A = this chain, B = another copy of it.
C-alpha cells in the first residue's frame, strides 16, 4: 500500500485506522437502520480496515451513540480490535434536551464527566479509546478542564484525549495544563477547504508530532454536486488526475489528496454505504505526485501558487 493503514496517536500504543468511520449521519437516512443492520455495517467497516469509529454525544440529536451501541452489542468482534472515539462540550438546543435554551459549550469538569459516562453507557463499553473536546469553549478554565480530562485517563474511562476545531493557540493553552500530550486535533479539511494548509494548523501538528483527524474530507459532498466555480474546477482537476492514474473514483482521489500530506492526516469518512466505503478505501493505494497534488490545489484556489 502507498499509505500506512494505521496512524500511531500516542507513544503508549494507541493507534487509529488511517481512515476512520464517521458515525455522524448513522441515523440520517429515512429508513433508520436497526441494530442488526448497524452490526453488519460495523463488520463491513472493520473488514475494510476501518477499525476506528468517530462519535460525539450530540450526533443524531443525542441518539447515534445508543443506536451504534445496540449494533455493537450484536457484532461478533472483540472490543479491543476497534477504537471508539467520542466528543463532548457542545450543548445542543434539542427536543431531546429541553433544558437547553440555545446551542453553547460546556467544558466544566461536571459536564465532561457526565457526558463521558453517558457516552460509555450508550456505546455499551467501559472505555473510550479517544475523547475529544468538540469545539473550543471561550469559557474554558484550562486548569479545571485539564484536571477533568486527566482524571478520566487516570480512571481508565478514556485512553487518550484530543481536541477538535482548535486553533494552535487554543491547543497550546489546554496542552500547557495536561500531564500528557494531546493526541489529535480533528479539523475540517478537503480539496474544497484548504485553509489548514496556511493558517498554521498543520504546521503546529507537524511540529508537535500529533496526527490531525479530518472531518468533511469530501467537503460535505459538495465536491460532487456543487455547481459553483470552485467545485466545478476541483472536480475537473480531480477527474484529470483520476484518468491519468487509472483511478475509477473521484472520492478516492480526493481522500488520497489528504493522505499525501506529511502531517499524517486521518480522514473521517461519513458515508453509511458499504460500497462507498469500499471505493474510498482505495485511496490508501493512491500515491499522488507533486504536480498532481498541486494541480488540484491550484484548481481549488483558482490561481497558481505564488
- Decide: B262 and A142 in contact? CB cutoff 8 A: yes
Set of chain B residues within 8 Å of A304, measured between Cβ atoms: 102-103
Asked if A94 is at the interface of the complex by the 8 Å CB criterion, the answer is no
The 8 A CB mask of A45-84 against B (1 = contact, 0 = none) is 0000000000000000000000000000000000000000
The 8 A CB mask of A132-152 against B (1 = contact, 0 = none) is 000100111110100000000
- Decide: B262 and A105 in contact? CB cutoff 8 A: no
Asked if A206 is at the interface of the complex by the 8 Å CB criterion, the answer is yes
Given the known interface contacts A142-B206, A261-B139, the answer about A104 and B169 at a Cβ–Cβ threshold of 8 Å is no
Asked if A295 is at the interface of the complex by the 8 Å CB criterion, the answer is yes
How far, in whole Å, are A202 and B136 apart by their CA atoms in the complex? 12
Chain B nearest CB, measured from A197 CB (Å): 4
Set of chain B residues within 8 Å of A2, measured between Cβ atoms: none
- Size band of the interface chain A makes with B: 35 or more
- Decide: A138 and B101 in contact? CB cutoff 8 A: no
Set of chain B residues within 8 Å of A142, measured between Cβ atoms: 206-207, 262
- Decide: B197 and A138 in contact? CB cutoff 8 A: yes
Set of chain B residues within 8 Å of A140, measured between Cβ atoms: 262
Asked if A95 is at the interface of the complex by the 8 Å CB criterion, the answer is no
Given the known interface contacts A169-B204, A204-B169, the answer about A104 and B291 at a Cβ–Cβ threshold of 8 Å is yes
Asked if A260 is at the interface of the complex by the 8 Å CB criterion, the answer is yes
Given the known interface contacts A104-B290, A104-B305, A165-B306, the answer about A172 and B207 at a Cβ–Cβ threshold of 8 Å is yes
- Decide: A141 and B262 in contact? CB cutoff 8 A: yes
Q: Taking the full assembly, how many copies of this chain does it contain?
A: 3
Asked if A298 is at the interface of the complex by the 8 Å CB criterion, the answer is yes
Asked if A129 is at the interface of the complex by the 8 Å CB criterion, the answer is no
- Decide: A135 and B105 in contact? CB cutoff 8 A: no
Set of chain B residues within 8 Å of A102, measured between Cβ atoms: 291, 294-295, 298, 304
Q: In the complex, what residue of chain B is closest to A141 when comparing beta carbons?
A: B262
Set of chain B residues within 8 Å of A207, measured between Cβ atoms: 142, 172-173, 176
How far, in whole Å, are A106 and B294 apart by their CA atoms in the complex? 10
- Decide: B101 and A139 in contact? CB cutoff 8 A: no
Chain B nearest CB, measured from A57 CB (Å): 16
Asked if A124 is at the interface of the complex by the 8 Å CB criterion, the answer is no
Asked if A170 is at the interface of the complex by the 8 Å CB criterion, the answer is yes
CB < 8 Å neighbour of A173 from B108, B206, B290: B206
How far, in whole Å, are A105 and B306 apart by their CA atoms in the complex? 10
- Decide: A139 and B291 in contact? CB cutoff 8 A: no
Set of chain B residues within 8 Å of A169, measured between Cβ atoms: 168, 200, 203-204
Asked if A30 is at the interface of the complex by the 8 Å CB criterion, the answer is no
How far, in whole Å, are A295 and B104 apart by their CA atoms in the complex? 8
Within 8 A of B (CB), among A228-261: 260-261
- Decide: A203 and B173 in contact? CB cutoff 8 A: yes
Asked if A31 is at the interface of the complex by the 8 Å CB criterion, the answer is no
